[in-house]
A = this chain, B = another copy of it.
C-alpha cells in the first residue's frame, strides 16, 4: 500500500518556496505519493489565475506532486473556513493519511492548542466577533481581535492569512473527525504576501506576480524552477498574455453597468447595498485597481471584495452557491498525475466513497457545471486564443507527467 500525504495549493505560479514545501513534505511524512488539492482557474483571494489549471497542474507534477485534485470553484473562492473545509475533506476522501502545510513557526502544537483554546471558549469568542463586526470591522479583523480578547496564551497571530489558513485546516480536520495526521513545515524566508522580490531564491507568489505584470517575466526567473519558468514563458507567448484582473476589467465593467442593482444583489457575496457601491465605483474608475480603491471600506477586506467581483463576473447567484457550498464536495476530479499518482489511484479506486472524475462531460454534478461555466468566462481573458482555452475545460484528459 502506497503511503499518501496531502497539500493544499494554488501555485500561482509555482516557485522555489513551493518546491521546498513539496520536498520537505516528502521527507517528514516519508510518503510515496503527494496529493495536491489545487484551486482551478479562480483563486481564494478573488483573482483569476495567471494561467490555466492545466498549466499549473503540470507545474505541480514537475515540481514533486504525484496527483493533482481540483478544489471546486465554490470552495476555492470561499473564505478561509470553507476553503479549508473543502480541501481537507477532499484529501480525506481520496485516502491521504496526513496533510502538511507551511507556517512561520513550523510547530503543529501551536495550531492544535489554539484550536482547543478557541473551542473551549467558543461562546465568548463568537460574542466578541459579533461585537467587532457590529463596530464595522471586517470578518478577519473581528476574528483576530476576538481571539486576542480570550483568556488563553496567544501563540498564533490570527491576523496573518497563512496562520488563519493553517488554523482552519486543523479546525476542519478536527471537526470532520478525520484520521488525517496534521503536519507543518517552517517556511523559508518570504512572507505570504510580500510585495517585493527579495534576495536569495525565495519570493512570495504575490511578489512574483507583481514583477511579471509591472516589469517583465524574466525578473521572476531566479525565483522558480526552470520548468515552471518555461511554462510561464511559453503560455505568455502562446496566449499573448498571462491573466490578471485587469484583463477582465472591461467585462466586469460591462456587467456592472448593464445590470440593475437588484440583479447584482442576486450574486453571491453582494450584500448590504454593495451593489450600489460597485456601480458607483465603476462609473468613476478606469482600471480594476482604481475601481477597487474606490470600493474599499473598513467593513470589507480587499480579498472579500475581489471575491464578490468574481461572482458578479462569473454570474454566480446566491442560490447556486449555497446549493454547492452547504455540502461537502461530491466528487474527486483529477487534473493531473505522475505514474506514481496513477498507481496510487489504482490501488485506492475501489475503496473511495466519491466518484473519481477524469472526463467532466460524463457527470452531472452542480459543482462541475459551475466549473464549466466559470471556465468559459476565464477563457474570455485570453482574447483571440480563447477557443483553445475553452476546449481545454471539457476535453482535456488529466495532465500526465512521468
Q: Number of A interface residues, CB 8 Å?
A: 21
A286 to B384, CA, bound (A): 6
Q: For residue A256, which residue of chain B has the nearest CB?
A: B376
A315 to B383, CA, bound (A): 22
* A15 at the B interface (CB under 8 A): no
Contact with B along A237-281 (1 / 0, CB 8 A): 000000000000011011101110000000000000000000000
Contact with B along A89-131 (1 / 0, CB 8 A): 0000000000000000000000000000000000000000000
- The interface centre, meaning the residue of A250, A254, A255, A284 with most chain B CB atoms within 10 A of its CB, is A254
Q: A390 touches which one: B283, B377, B383 (CB < 8 A)? A: B283
**Chain B residues with CB below 8 A from A234, complex form:** none
Q: A283-B390, A286-B387, A387-B286 are in contact. Are A380 and B253 (CB under 8 A)?
A: yes
* Cross-chain contact A258 with B383 (CB below 8 angstroms): no
Q: A254 touches which one: B257, B259, B377, B390 (CB < 8 A)? A: B377
A283 to B387, CA, bound (A): 7
* Cross-chain contact A257 with B315 (CB below 8 angstroms): no
A376 to B383, CA, bound (A): 23
* A373 at the B interface (CB under 8 A): yes
Number of copies of this protein chain within its complex: 2
**Chain B residues with CB below 8 A from A384, complex form:** 286
CB distance from A378 to the nearest CB of B (A): 11
A258 to B259, CA, bound (A): 14
**Chain B residues with CB below 8 A from A359, complex form:** none
**Chain B residues with CB below 8 A from A380, complex form:** 250, 253-254, 257
Q: For residue A377, which residue of chain B has the nearest CB?
A: B258
Q: For residue A253, which residue of chain B has the nearest CB?
A: B380
Contact with B along A343-378 (1 / 0, CB 8 A): 000000000000000000000000000000100110
**Chain B residues with CB below 8 A from A258, complex form:** 314-315, 373, 376-377
A257 to B255, CA, bound (A): 13
A365 to B384, CA, bound (A): 40
**Chain B residues with CB below 8 A from A315, complex form:** 258-259
CB distance from A334 to the nearest CB of B (A): 25
**Chain B residues with CB below 8 A from A250, complex form:** 250-251, 380, 383
In the complex, which residues 272-319 of chain A have their Cβ closer than 8 Å to any Cβ of chain B? 283-284, 286, 314-315
Contact with B along A188-230 (1 / 0, CB 8 A): 0000000000000000000000000000000000000000000
Given contact pairs A250-B383, A254-B380, a sample of 11 additional A-B residue pairs in the complex whose CB atoms are under 8 Å apart: A250-B380, A254-B254, A254-B255, A257-B376, A257-B377, A257-B380, A258-B315, A258-B373, A258-B376, A258-B377, A286-B384
Which 7 pairs between the two chains have the least Cβ-Cβ distance? A257-B376, A251-B254, A258-B315, A254-B380, A258-B377, A286-B384, A253-B380
